[in-house]
Structure 1
């Protein structure tokens, strides 16, 4: 059976000051134990003092088990296997860059894992003969695989692969990198002070959802009254942004007919995995608050 995981890079450990993606496994008195997703899941720790620049009132609000986090490497002891990490030293720009790098290399990993399964090959050996070998020529393994979409002979000519593995690799690259859907999100503030109130808001949000299409279905999630997130998934980012803007316009027109108003807090834009994760956390936190406030029989306002 093919080993399902492998580090993304030729080096076995991250470098000091490198920003890496981790998954939170458990929370202890000293900090949070995590697995480094790009380095075959080896263990590291985010020290309690490195979780936030501010005074820590609740660890649960800063970090959650099962979530992915972008963190900075403080120390690496390869002999003892200790890796100390920091969340508070990572800037928003670092988070965005780290997530972009992680998503691209995760796509490469997925491609190679499937090729290894189909061709009964060892995953690490396949990395050595393909992705890691191509970094020198193309800068990153992801860019090398993207290049293979348009110039397959040039890229594949640099590799020592048998005909079956080569054909399988190209097929998987074409299938997984040709078109990847983007998640588009806009944040809006919806108010209605007339007697229709809550029902008018619900009706307006449904009007926004209704403009979605099969290619770009629209969803509306309650973040915290009166803030809502309008989202869609689309393989064409521009079309996705158009769909979300159309939904926002539909909500705005409908709520205006009932004496309400809509303000755009953040324009429609593509969001990455960590932003999507943050959105989910906001929704979950709001659900918890609503459960506390309404009880089992209370009505939850949302769409």
Structure 2
């Protein structure tokens, strides 16, 4: 029989995590007093979650909460490199931190796979890929972030780190797989018309916004009634400057239209936090 396929590429960090850092790990042993967790992101590092840090409240049996082989997201409470001790907490990790860490780790696993694809294409060994991956982590804190940088800035930003040929392959994969995040700008119109058909006039003014948006590529507009006399508008675009330019054009057009139709109005900007 042929040998089993080599395990997937995982590039681990050297050194120790920092106190306060959120990490991913695999439970290796469960004792009455706590659980030992192998850190998936760090080379040969294991931490311990004391039973009091597993879950809130009193714990009768730790095995009701953690099991061997389970993947867990932990917060690093303390590190003692001299003794090789890493104290972890599961209960101190918020739901938001957990979601974000899982997504970050999924992205990193995808990036490792992309490195494997490039390595296969260029005939590189596993050791060479690990060396390249560690260089990227040192420079960008994660392999995935290096791909993101490449998607935005082009292969040239990575050429000095991984070589031109490898950087070009990274750029190609990045363009195919990483979509730049969309940005949003928003605010609300306060529009009034005292004419008999005032509602129709306001509607006509707002509809002008969609005419303006058509002139801008890849922009999505949404207008909703908030409550008299307010109408919120949200613009979504690939680029913040384009979104701002489109919003200014929309505001000018809508306010000029409502004034021309005998009404009055103003615009209040809202900031998305």
Bin for the TM-score computed over the shorter chain: 0.5 to 0.7
Secondary structure, counterpart of 1:93 in structure 2: helix
Equivalent runs, 1:128-139 vs 2, <5 Å: 128-133=134-139, 135=140
Q: Deviations over 1:94-140 (max 9, x none)?
A: 2122223222223223333454564124344212443432x2xxx76
Which of 6, 11, 23 is matched with 1:6 structurally? 11
Q: Deviations over 1:6-55 (max 9, x none)?
A: 31x4x521001211111112211221111111113521111112111211
Q: TM-score, normalised by structure 1?
A: 0.48
**Matches of 2:8 and 2:81 in 1, distance apart?**
23
Per the alignment, residue 268 of structure 2 pairs with none
**Matches of 1:82 and 1:114 in 2, distance apart?**
36
Per the alignment, residue 119 of structure 1 pairs with 124
When Rg is computed on C-alpha atoms for both structures, the one with the higher figure is 2
- 1:158 offset after TM fit, Å? 4.4
**Matches of 1:65 and 1:23 in 2, distance apart?**
8
> Structure 1 147/160 Cα, relative in aligned 2: closer, same or farther at 3 Å?
closer
Per the alignment, residue 82 of structure 1 pairs with 85
Per the alignment, residue 159 of structure 1 pairs with 161
Count of residue correspondences: 171
Retained in 2: the 8 A contact 1:116–1:126?
Answer: no
- 1:90 offset after TM fit, Å? 1.5
Secondary structure, counterpart of 2:155 in structure 1: helix
Is structure 2 residue 57 aligned with structure 1 residue 54?
yes
Structure 1 stretches of 5 or more lacking a match? 180-303
Per the alignment, residue 191 of structure 1 pairs with none
Per the alignment, residue 147 of structure 2 pairs with 145
Retained in 2: the 8 A contact 1:2–1:122?
Answer: no
Retained in 2: the 8 A contact 1:2–1:123?
Answer: no
Which of 50, 60, 63 is matched with 2:66 structurally? 63
Runs of 4+ off more than 6 Å: none
Equivalent runs, 1:149-228 vs 2, <5 Å: 149-161=151-163, 163=165, 165-173=166-174, 177-178=177-178
> Structure 1 160/18 Cα, relative in aligned 2: closer, same or farther at 3 Å?
closer
CA RMSD of aligned residues (A): 3.0
> Structure 1 61/125 Cα, relative in aligned 2: closer, same or farther at 3 Å?
same
Per the alignment, residue 33 of structure 2 pairs with 30
Retained in 2: the 8 A contact 1:31–1:45?
Answer: yes
- 1:149 offset after TM fit, Å? 3.2
- 1:70 offset after TM fit, Å? 0.9
> Structure 1 25/161 Cα, relative in aligned 2: closer, same or farther at 3 Å?
same
Retained in 1: the 8 A contact 2:39–2:45?
Answer: yes
Per the alignment, residue 93 of structure 1 pairs with 96
- 1:61 offset after TM fit, Å? 2.8
Secondary structure, counterpart of 2:161 in structure 1: coil
**Matches of 2:119 and 2:15 in 1, distance apart?**
20
